[in-house]
Structure formats: C-alpha cells, structure tokens
Amino acid sequence: MKKILFLVALAFVFSLPACKDELSFESVESGRVQANENSEFNAKAFRQTHPEYAGYSISMRGDSTQSAKCGQGDGWASIDLVKVEEGKKVALKCSTVSAATGCMTDADFKARSYASQDGQCDSSLPFPLPKIQK
C-alpha cells in the first residue's frame, strides 16, 4: 500500500511542473494578435506581388495551433483572399514568424515540406513571437 501511495504522490509531483508551464489566457491572446499581425503583413505583401489578387480583401483565420500549451503555434496562419462581388476565394498559408517565407497558396503549401508542420506545435519557434519588421 505504501508503495502505491508513493507512486501516486510521485506522479502528482511530476505533473505539477506541466501545469506551471501553461500560458495565461492573456499571453495566448497576445501571441495570437502578434501571429495575426505578422501573417496579415505577409498576406498584404503576397497580394502586392501578385497583381491578379489586387482587388481581393484579406480574411484572417489565424493559427489554430496556438494554445496555453503552445503559445507560438505551428508558425502558419490560414488566410483567405476574397473577392465577394465575384464569389472568388483563394486560400493562403502565411508564416506567422518570417517575412522571408511569407505566404503561398494552400495548394503550393501542401506540395512543400512545410505542410508537415501544419497543426503540430513547433517548439523551435520563439515565444513571444517577434514582430515582423515592416
């Protein structure tokens, strides 16, 4: 019985640090804001360099991987370029941390090695996310 109680207590002690590593709601929200600002910057640059999308608006969907356990997310935000009056929509994947990587169409993203990062917490990314310099 003592051995079982010891193991339960040991498991409890090792579970405590995991709780402390979780980010606060405010930290996660701050990270989401920065990720959205960075990916929107990249989407605007993409639109500017692709004249066929000049009349499209940007609809942000963000990085769904960001959470209290993964504030930096997977480094990719989903964004739609939309031309409502013509019923057109183009799905993009945009980096939340790199202006050099920028954005690419969803189809192009899926054809690259980046696709394996989608939906997976990337612990190599910094948190808080740095602001992409404009």
> Phi and psi dihedrals of 100, rounded to 5?
-65, -35
Minimal CA–CA distance to 61: which of 81, 37, 77, 74?
77
| Residue 1: predicted pLDDT | 52
The answer to whether residue 33 scores a pLDDT higher than 60 is yes
Evaluate whether residue 64 is within a structural domain: yes
Evaluate whether residue 85 is within a structural domain: yes
Evaluate whether residue 30 is within a structural domain: yes
Evaluate whether residue 39 is within a structural domain: yes
User: How confident is the model over 43-71, as a mean pLDDT?
Assistant: 95
Residue 124, SS3 per DSSP: coil
Residue 117, SS3 per DSSP: helix
52: how many CB neighbours lie within 10 A of its CB? 9
Evaluate whether residue 34 is within a structural domain: yes
Residue span of the structural domain in which 65 resides: 23-117
Evaluate whether residue 11 is within a structural domain: no
Alpha carbon 81 to chain centroid, angstroms: 18
**Number of residues in the chain:** 134
Evaluate whether residue 134 is within a structural domain: no
Domain count, the chain: 1
| Residue 17: predicted pLDDT | 36
In percent, the amount of the chain with pLDDT more than 90 equals: 80
The answer to whether residue 66 scores a pLDDT higher than 80 is yes
Span 94-134, pLDDT tens digits: 999 999 999 999 999 999 998 999 999 999 999 999 999 86
127: how many CB neighbours lie within 10 A of its CB? 17
38 touches 78 (CB < 8 A): no
The answer to whether residue 43 scores a pLDDT higher than 90 is yes
pTM for the full model? Answer: 0.81
Span 12-29, pLDDT tens digits: 434 333 344 799 999 999
